[in-house]
Amino acid sequence: DGGITQSPKYLFRKEGQNVTLSCEQNLNHDAMYWYRQDPGQGLRLIYYSQIVNDFQKGDIAEGYSVSREKKESFPLTVTSAQKNPTAFYLCASSITPAGKTEAFFGQGTRLTVV
Amino acid sequence: RKEVEQDPGPFNVPEGATVAFNCTYSNSASQSFFWYRQDCRKEPKLLMSVYSSGNEDGRFTAQLNRASQYISLLIRDSKLSDSATYLCVGEGLAFGKGNQVVVIP
């Protein structure tokens, strides 16, 4: 089955620790995205990548880092510099960049920092 | 940036009634718009694309008004299962906060 997979579904970390969220897709999509969603809020764009080895900051990139070494993979690292990391993180991909075609989402990772 | 804005609601709708809501956008050059449905604690899923000529899928109708820069979603004959948050998104994948719909028996 083609799709986009995020792991783990739930993640707990201690304050001050870096943590990496996985996102893999086998849809052969060029573009991939990371969003953050807080309770009762919409999706806010953290980073996006339109092609391998290239990525751009979104609206709330501070305290996060990404890499795009392979077309299929777009991991997100939440660093200790992120002041309020507890949130629902969603990864998405689309055939073409910049939202000209629909995006497909992974099931999300709920990160709780204690 | 606030490229897309929605009134979060909630929109409390009696079962069987019609509900409609709008989403305004700021980038007049945007060509692509989509409506997504998001259930509680789940990922968004594509509901429908929004074409210039409008788009209808069963009980759901999406319209694009370029002059006033908004897209709309209309749900007819609301079902309990329609209770969800409906997110609009434009080019650049900027999402609105969503319209929360609660269908009441």
Chain A residue numbers touching B94 (CB-CB < 8 A): 45, 99
Phi first, then psi: give them for residue A23, nearest 5 degrees.
-145, 120
Residue range B52-72: average pLDDT?
A: 92
Which residues of B lie inside 8 Å of A (Cβ-Cβ)?
Answer: 1, 6, 8, 31-32, 34, 41-46, 49, 87, 89-98
What is the strand order of the sheet B45-50 is part of?
A: B11-14, B99-104, B84-89, B33-38, B45-50
Question: Could you read off the pLDDT of B13-46 as tens digits, one per residue?
Answer: 999 999 998 999 988 888 889 999 999 989 999 9
Written as six digits, the tokens of A62 are 């501070």
At residue B31, the pLDDT reads: 82
Give the tens place of pLDDT for each residue, B76-88: 999 999 999 999 9
CB B34 within 8 A of CB B23: no
Give the closest-approach CA distance of B64 to chain A in angstroms: 15
B60-65: strand order across its sheet: B4-6, B19-25, B70-75, B60-65, B55-57
CA distances from A16 to A61, A79, A83, A102 (A): 18, 8, 10, 36
Contact in structure between B73 and B86 (CB atoms under 8 Å): yes
Distances (CA, A) of A48 to A2, A32, A67, A72, B18: 21, 6, 10, 14, 37
Whether the pLDDT of residue A100 is over 80: the answer is: no
SS3 B50: strand
B interface test, pick of A43, A44, A101, A107 with most B CB neighbours within 10 Å? A43
**A12 pLDDT higher than 60:** yes
More confident: A55 or A102 = A55
The pLDDT, as a whole number, for residue B27 is 84
Measured between beta carbons, which residues in chain A are less than 8 angstroms from residue B96?
42
pLDDT of B5:
86
Task: Tell me which amino acid residue A63 is.
Answer: G
